[in-house]
Each structure stands twice: as C-alpha cells, then as structure tokens.
Amino acid sequence: MRDRIRELAAESIDWNYLFVFARRHGVLPLFYSRLQQSAADVIPPDQLQQLRKYFQENSARNVLLTAELRRLIDLFAKHGIEAIPYKGPVLALFAYGDTALRRFVDLDVMVRKEDVERAIDLIILEGYEFSKSLDTTQQKILLRTQHNVQFWRYNRQLILELHWEVASHLFASSVQANDLWKQLVKIDVNGATLKTLAVEDLIFSLAVHGSRHLWERLLWICDVAWIIRRHDLNWPGLMERARSTKTERMFLLGLDLCSRLLNVTLPDPIAEQIKNDSTLAALATRVTEDLFAAEHKPATTFQIFSYNLRVRRSWSSRLRYFRHVFKPTDRDVNALVLPAPLSFGYYLMRPFRLLFKTGEDLH
C-alpha cells in the first residue's frame, strides 16, 4: 500500500482539489498522515506545507477539546452524574489510536435520561448556552421527542451535544440506552481512565449515525473500517442484534461501503448476505456516487424519504420512521413560542413545516 501511495503521489495531481475534497469529508488528518509516511519527498513542498499546517492546527484543537471533555466528565462525576464520552476524542482513539488522526468539531457526552435536567443545569452554570433559544416548555418538548440537545460556548467556538440516547428509538432501535450502560468499557484518554461504549455498541451506533445522515462523509466510513481492522468483533452477536431490531440492511450498508471503498475484509456469511441483496447494492452505489460527485448537493426531501424506506426491510420499521419524521425538532420549537397548555401545537405544525423545509429536517 505504501508503494502504491507513493506511485500515485508522483503523478500529475490537482493537489488543491484533493485538499478541498479531503477537508470536506473530514479525512484530511488521515490523508496527511499517510502521505507523510509514504511520499513526503515527492509532494510539492507548498502543498505538503499546506497539509502539515492543517494537521497541526487540527491536532492543537483536538488537545483543547479533549481537555474540555475530561473536565466535563469530572464535573458531572462530582455532582453524582455518570457521564460517558461518545464519538469525538474517544472515537479517534478507538478507531485510529491517536486523537490527532481524526477531525472532530464538537464534543458528545451521554448521560442517563433521568440525569438530563441536572446535567443541563450544570452545563448552563459552566457558561454554555443552548444553540437555539428555548424556554422551559420547549426544553421539555425536546426531551420528550429527541435524543440529544446542543449547546455552545465562547461565541459558538465550542460545541457540546448532550445525549441520552444514541438515536431516536423510532429511527433505529438497535442501540438502546439501558443496554449501553450495562456493558461500558474503560479507555485511557491522555492519562485519565474514562468509561465509554463497548466496541459492538460503538460500531452499531456509528452505523446508525452514518445511515441517519446518508453516509455523506468519507470520515464516517473510515471510522467503521478502522474499528473493524483494529478490534475483534462478535460478528454473530452483531448480526443477531441487527436482525432482531430490524436494522439489518442499515448495518450491512455501512459494512458494504467499508468493503467497497476501503478494502475491508468481511466474514464470508456477511459478505454473502451483502452480495445477495440487490437493494443494498443499489443504495451503496448511490452513496458512492454522491460521495465522489464533482459538486456536493444536499439530499432533497424526496431522496431522504426514498433512502430511509429502502434501507429498512420491514413495513413496521418503515412505519416507525414515519413516526420519527413527524416528531417536533429543535427547529420546530424554535420557530414559535407556544404556552405550555398549547404545546401540542408543535406536533400539528410539524407536517406543514416539512412541506417548506429542506431535507435536513428529516434526518
């Protein structure tokens, strides 16, 4: 592989295009790292310097974000709230073994549902504010209908997402919070021992997240691929979970993309299932085409609906998705302030807002 990278780097390449493409997909740190190891002497010096500068800036930012994550976990613990880091620095360590090799722009922390309101109070006291202005009634609506809420600090330079579920149980029931807390594992984060998701829970969570966003970024596929390569997985257990929760095609799509794009070797039974599913093949082909399109265009409402129906095999899971779509989001509750007795109005508004909003509201 190193020789092949060196051979390609020596050809006539539009390095500016590659820089923009890798940055858009969040893989620039990985891209630079591999080039530095394999072909640093054949890359135009100014282009190599541009890549190095981005890598160093990202590394420095990641150090600050990781320190803030540790501080928040300690803060919650001091107030009797067990919190676990999710994605961000911990995912970088799980997948790549180095926080510098992954781009992350926010921090994700998960707490139990019963601790959410206390955690929000602590976050506000620390100087964070809701990313959207919400009154008490609006907050309660979101706690009931969503699986996370977003905050920011320092003029929106630091973003924190507080989770109580990996994803809405109506979007995908494959990773439920009650199960996650029973099988946490320990991981060293810059000298501190933190608890986080078990590897099987993590990879399922990433598959759900990637599917929720139509696998629009190469980074999400890289995350899954590197975890598969670096960790021993209970494949029979994973596939049983996928079947029992009716998320089989959703999970297999992520694996298929890893195989197609990053040459990940999958167990024979799983590779055979992927091979025999023509709908899965069509979905993977469309995702791949969109990933490498000359111009990135956000998916339309129709495309998102179509994808989400096809990535689910059973009508019951499709029905759950429709129920998920019609739940009020932070955009809905932020659009209009309703008094508590009229909070049901957010549910009535939702279908009409969907008619005039972009597909982003369907994720």
Helix (H) or strand (E) holding 333: helix 330-335
β 158-163/185-189 pair status? unpaired
Residue 45 maps to a domain: no
Distances (CA, A) of 228 to 25, 64, 87, 93, 332: 20, 28, 16, 13, 38
Torsion of CA 6, 8, 13, 15, to 10 degrees: -50
Residue 247 maps to a domain: yes
Residue 324 maps to a domain: no
Residue 323 token pair: 């129920």
* Structural domain containing residue 265: 199-293
Distance of CA 356 to the CA centre of its chain: 26
From first to last of its 363 residues, what are the pLDDT tens digits of the chain? 788 888 888 888 899 999 999 999 999 999 999 999 998 999 999 999 999 999 999 999 999 999 999 999 999 999 999 999 989 999 999 999 999 999 998 999 999 989 999 999 999 999 999 988 877 887 787 777 788 899 999 888 899 999 988 776 656 666 666 678 888 999 999 888 999 999 999 999 899 899 989 999 999 999 999 999 999 999 999 999 899 888 999 999 999 999 999 999 999 999 999 999 999 999 999 999 999 998 888 888 889 989 999 999 988 888 888 888 887 877 777 777 777 777 767 777 777 777 666 544 555
Around Cβ 32, how many Cβ atoms within 10 Å? 25
Q: What is the DSSP string of 54-92?
A: HHHHHHHHHHHHHHHHHHHHHHHHHTT--EEE-SHHHHH
Residue 32 maps to a domain: no
Among left, alpha and beta (phi > 0; psi -120 to 50; other), residue 213 is alpha
d(CA 262, CA 27): 13
Distances (CA, A) of 212 to 55, 106, 151, 215, 304: 28, 18, 21, 8, 9
Residue 359 maps to a domain: no
Distances (CA, A) of 120 to 17, 109, 352: 42, 12, 30
Q: Quick one: pLDDT at residue 175?
A: 63
Could you tell me the strand order of the sheet in which 129-130 lies? 83-85, 106-111, 158-163, 148-153, 129-130
Residue type, 105: V
Burial (Cβ within 10 Å: 0-12, 13-18, ≥19) of residue 85: buried
Tally of domains in the chain: 1
Which residues does 38 contact at the CB level (< 8 Å), separation at least 6? 1, 2, 3, 5, 6, 9
Q: Quick one: pLDDT at residue 109?
A: 95
Residue 231 maps to a domain: yes
Residue type, 73: I
